[in-house]
Copies of this chain bind each other. A is one copy, B any other.
Amino acid sequence: MKDLQDADSHRAPSAAGGAPHGDSGRPVSELRERIWRIIFLSDTAAGKAFDIALLVMIGLSVVVLMLESVEPLRQSYGRWFRILEWASTILFTLEYVTRLAVCARPWRYARSFFGIVDVVAIVPSYLELILPGGQYLLVVRVLRLMRMFRVLKMAHHVSEGSVLLNALAASRRKISVFMLSVTVLVFVEGTAMYLLEGQANPGFSSIPAAIYWAIVTLTTVGYGDVTPVTFFGKVMASIIMLTGFGILAVPTGIVASEMSRAAAPQQPTDERTCAECGTGGHIRRARHCHQCGTVLQA
């Protein structure tokens, strides 16, 4: 989250270093500053237009990527798809180079969260030219959707995202205990169903298949591609479903209580103890001891 929060650190060339010469020693051109303002901020008309153009480009390039996978469309418009894909890749590359150029601390930008996302958005297209079996990079190319977060960020949505991520991070131990418990549960339930239904039902012919069914059921997805057919199988399945119904409450409870805590007004206490009465646990902005009224020392 550090990287998300110190987004402002990719500062205007003139601001970084506190001197008019910037990090590179040469005088900061006014043009460079203006371009920086357009592509990093959105407080000017040009900056907002740039953001919208960026959103459109990202959207378009992902739509092209999706449509290219539709066989009939590829046969008819494959040529156009490739042109659009390369157009967007080249534009993203130009944008990345410009960002590096106008940024006061290019290396810091390059290692930041969005700097990495920006690279990830363009590298796969070049790699596909070189590598065989490059179609697996499709998944990476879809990640360019994450660039959309950059635009949201300008609109101060990031702090909200931070709250979410912090809540998830704060509960990561509880969630990992929970996930391990769920894993044990689906393994046990899957094995039990394999023993109960394995003979009668091809959907439960092996333990891995039965575990797949248990996951589909416990998460309440319930495709129905595998369903119990014997009486005892249905009884067992009913128990599993009711368990899953109750278990669903646990992660929700974890996150909800974590978010309530994050949202609650904090009264953080500090290390000071009262010289007069020895009381500790004062709130930070306290000046007087809450026990005897003596002025607190820092």
Contacts and interface: CB of A to CB of B under 8 A. Distances in A.
A16 B137 CA distance: 58
Contacts of A175: 246
Interface residues of A, number: 100
A152 interface: yes
Contacts of A139: 188, 191-192, 195
Contacts of A62: 187
Residue among A69, A135, A181 facing the most chain B CB atoms (10 A cut-off): A69
Contact of A152 (B156, B180, B192, B248): B180
A66 B208 contact: yes
A29 interface: no
Given A69-B207, A187-B62, A245 B253 contact: no
Contacts of A260: 256-257, 260-261, 263
Contacts of A277: 287
Contacts of A146: 184
A112 to B, nearest CB: 18
A172 to B, nearest CB: 9
A215 B138 CA distance: 19
Interface in A173-214: 173-184, 187-188, 191-192, 194-195, 198, 205-208, 211-212
Given A205-B71, A242-B179, A223 B227 contact: yes
A65 interface: yes
A179 B163 CA distance: 15
B148 A180 contact: yes
A249 interface: yes
Interface string A279-298: 10100011110011000000
Nearest to A135: B195
- Copies of this chain held together in the complex: 4
Contacts of A161: 174, 177, 181
Interface in A209-238: 211-212, 215-225, 227, 231, 234, 237-238
A157 B136 contact: no
A174 B158 CA distance: 9
A241 interface: yes
A269 to B, nearest CB: 9
A218 B149 CA distance: 21
12 contacts: A135-B195, A139-B188, A142-B188, A157-B176, A160-B174, A161-B181, A164-B250, A179-B242, A248-B252, A252-B253, A252-B255, A261-B263
Given A252-B256, A256-B257, 10 more contacts: A143-B184, A164-B177, A220-B245, A248-B248, A248-B251, A253-B255, A256-B260, A258-B263, A261-B264, A287-B292
